[in-house]
Structure 1
Amino acid sequence: MAEIKIIGTAHVSQESVNEVRTAIEDYHPDVVAIELDPARYSALKKQARDPSVNDVLEVKNFNSLLVQWLLAYLQRKIGFDVGVEPGAEMKAAIAEAEQRNIPIALVDRDIRVTLMRFWNTLGFIEKLKMIWALIISIAEIDNGQEIDIESLKEQNVIDVVMEEFRKFSPNGARALIDERDAFIAHQLVILKAQRPEGKILAVIGAGHRKGISAYLDDPKTLPPFDSLTKEPKPFPWAKVFGFGVTFLFAFLLAAIAFSGVGLNVLLYAFLFWVIIHGVLSAIFVLLAGGHPYSALTCFCVAWMTSLNPMLHAGWIGAYVEARVRKPPVTDFRKIYETESLKEMAKIPLFKVVLVAALGNLGSLLGTVLYFIFVFPVLGIDPTVVISTGIGNLWAWVTGLF
């Protein structure tokens, strides 16, 4: 019967590198299974094609891409501090297996599916908490806070960290940890069936070892494989919010128009919508380091895109930014090699993605502030205007019939 040995590693640990090499040398596995998917394997081997700026603009996953880049930066900074390149233990496993002509099995889920399921299953509050925690973590690492990497492989420490992560982001923990535990366990079960008399060495992140081992002990508890690979289709809250904003704005203008307060008030209500969206979107683009043309574009279109759930001001600003900056294909790799956030912020492709994210954020903030301050700015009583406007509108509609 096939035998599976699991090594739990830390991705920036020299001790894990040594442990992997020793295990392959002593265990003599018939196959080495590593926690990589084909895309990350190619990237690790420097064989992957870097996406172009057009690829990035076409997919429009600007927010999740920013999170991915910042996570990679955080891992890389930790690696710099301990003198180990992120993924070094996976590279060591690959090198040792190739040197001994041992087959390699890539057992992790496609990184694109994982990131999509991770980001799409997070609630709005979870996303804000995740981004804030990421920013704080980067700031602490950049300020020289030390991390005991080797302690992160100890099971009691792992259990505490995982429990805290589940409390902090239950949906994120399910996508990044639980689902991948099940996916990798599925792959190892398949390998075991293919090699009934062989020995399998699995090189897995320490955080996955407990979950994978539990599934291997009782494979009947594994969830259906298809449920782990399909793209999630979350409820389209963003579109619902967008259509809601459009309806509220139209309703507000109609109420003002029929309230009898005057055409000038209606005009000012519309101008306030245009100005607050345009100014905030443009300011956020400039804060992102965007080109003045990109900021001007967002200023001009934000009032319209905020009324169309299918369009976003930041997307249009990003297209302009890309045409002005003309990021080369090599920018994608540069982002993964920078040693500081200041250096990353100067990369044209990073500016394009940041312009998209912050341009949209500025427009969203404009929508929130508009409905809070529109009546104080206009100097009118909302209760009187809305009630009078609705009454007059209803009388007008019923009069038509």
Structure 2
Amino acid sequence: MTEIRLVGTAHVSQKSVEDVRSAIEEFQPDIVGVELDRGRFIALTEEAAEPSVTEILKSGNFGQLLVQWVLTYIQQRIGAETGVKPGDEMLVAIEEAQAHQKPLAFIDRDIRITLARFWGMMGIWEKIKLIGALIYSLVSVEGQEIDVDEFTNQDVVSAAMEEFRKFSPRGAQALIDERDAYLAHQILMLGSRYERVLAVVGAGHIQGVQRYLDAPETLPPLPALTAGVKGLPWAKILGTAVTALFLLLIVAIAFSGVGFDVLLTALLYWIVINGVLSAAFTLIAGGHPLSAVTAFAVSWLTSLNPLLAAGWFAAIVEAKIRKPAAGELRQIIEAETFSEMRKIPLFRVVLVAALANVGSTLGTVLYFLFIFPVLGIDPAVVIVDGFSNMLQMIQGLF
């Protein structure tokens, strides 16, 4: 009969390192499964090949990438306070398994799939709250005393999981629930081949994984846990809607008879509001003045094209000027302060891309909110008169 033992760890806890070592010594498993995928294992043990700046810019996932980096930074800071690097307990499990000549299995879902599903499943409001919480964490983690060993106390862990679930239900599903199921799938597959299985997983997964191990029939199908997130392409839909709304506005003003100067003013405000906010957010990100000028120059146009983004163009200019070098991804991950992280050219390029897009989006929203009061016209009258006049002109032509 197969015997499975779970060891719950906190990723920056010295106690967890010792717990893993003791469990392998006492349990003498036939195989050790660790909560890593092969990519994270390589990142922990080897100098993994870093993506180029071009590859990062082509991916377009600037917000997702920043979230990943900030989460890594926060974990690094907690680890620095405790003297334990993130992943040390997994490395100990690997080293002990090798020392006892035990086979090793990587049982976690590919981190790229997890992050893609995590980001893709969250709604816009959840993403905004997450970014706000991360910004707060960047400040509060400095100098704060943290009892990391409490992270393995199941009562504390359960309370934290419930709070995260309230904060981001969809994010919790991708980051916790789905991985509980994936880990349980992998552990059960190991159990079908080995009699004694030791699985080293984060403390937050212990209860969820154990529930599935006790009732395997409740496990969701494995392919459903690794598939891409299917949903409406909201970014393209909203971008197309903005384009249609702007063209509708311009046509209505042009045919309403309010005057060419009003039409010209409406176009000018579109360029200025989009450009100024996109450029301002580029400078807030620490971007070069030329990057800000680029954001200003293109944002009015990119806001009308759902396939283009002002941040992408600003980031290209930033990369040409700052010239990120090889090895900077490792520097970002190992940065000791957020200020130090912001000085790294690669981080600044991605931050410029993300914040320039935020500024452009904000400019678009503010334009539609305030353009009619600024112009001093009644939108209902302009739209009705504009399209009525246009229809009369078309009828006259035929």
TM-score of the superposed pair, with normalisation by structure 1 = 0.97
Give the corresponding residue for 1:82: 82
Aligned-partner residue type, residue 94 of structure 2? I
Which of 372, 377, 382 in structure 1 is aligned with 2:379? 382
State how far apart, in whole Å, the 2-side matches of 1:397 and 1:218 are: 69
Q: How far apart are 1:380 and its partner, in Å?
A: 2.4
Give the corresponding residue for 2:179: 180
State how far apart, in whole Å, the 2-side matches of 1:72 and 1:242 are: 32
State how far apart, in whole Å, the 1-side matches of 2:115 and 2:395 are: 52
State how far apart, in whole Å, the 2-side matches of 1:108 and 1:239 are: 32
Give the corresponding residue for 1:284: 281
Query: Does structure 1 conserve the Cα–Cα contact (< 8 Å) formed by 2:17 and 2:92?
Result: yes
Q: In the TM superposition, what whole-angstrom CA distance separates every residue of 1:208-228 from its partner, at most 9, and x where no partner exists? A: 011111111111111011000
Query: Does structure 1 conserve the Cα–Cα contact (< 8 Å) formed by 2:138 and 2:338?
Result: no
Aligned-partner residue type, residue 298 of structure 1? A
Aligned-partner residue type, residue 14 of structure 2? Q
Aligned-partner residue type, residue 173 of structure 1? A
Query: Does structure 2 conserve the Cα–Cα contact (< 8 Å) formed by 1:20 and 1:93?
Result: yes
Aligned-partner residue type, residue 255 of structure 1? A
2:249 corresponds to 1:249: no
SS in 2 for 1:32: strand
Displaced runs of 4 or more, over 4 A: none
State how far apart, in whole Å, the 2-side matches of 1:160 and 1:355 are: 36
Q: In the TM superposition, what whole-angstrom CA distance separates every residue of 1:91-148 from its partner, at most 9, and x where no partner exists? A: 1111111222211100000000000000011100000011111111221111x22222
Q: Percent identity at matched positions?
A: 57
SS in 1 for 2:18: helix
Aligned-partner residue type, residue 75 of structure 1? Q
Within 5 Å, give how 1:1-400 maps onto structure 2.
1-142=1-142, 144-195=143-194, 198-400=195-397
| Stretches of structure 1 lacking an aligned partner (at least 5 in a row) | none
State how far apart, in whole Å, the 1-side matches of 2:211 and 2:159 are: 18
User: Structure 1 residues 144-153 or 375-384, which shifts more?
Assistant: 375-384
Query: Does structure 2 conserve the Cα–Cα contact (< 8 Å) formed by 1:52 and 1:328?
Result: no
CA RMSD of aligned residues (A): 1.2
Q: How far apart are 1:297 and its partner, in Å?
A: 1.0
Q: In the TM superposition, what whole-angstrom CA distance separates every residue of 1:31-83 from its partner, at most 9, and x where no partner exists? A: 11000001100000024212221221121111000000000011111111122
SS in 1 for 2:253: helix
Q: How far apart are 1:400 and its partner, in Å?
A: 3.8
Q: In the TM superposition, what whole-angstrom CA distance separates every residue of 1:228-249 from its partner, at most 9, and x where no partner exists? A: 0111122111111111110110
SS in 1 for 2:198: strand
Aligned-partner residue type, residue 221 of structure 1? T
Aligned-partner residue type, residue 393 of structure 1? M
Query: Does structure 2 conserve the Cα–Cα contact (< 8 Å) formed by 1:53 and 1:329?
Result: no
State how far apart, in whole Å, the 2-side matches of 1:251 and 1:229 are: 42
TM-score of the superposed pair, with normalisation by structure 2 = 0.98
SS in 2 for 1:261: coil
SS in 2 for 1:115: helix
Q: How far apart are 1:27 and its partner, in Å?
A: 1.2
State how far apart, in whole Å, the 1-side matches of 2:394 and 2:301 are: 27
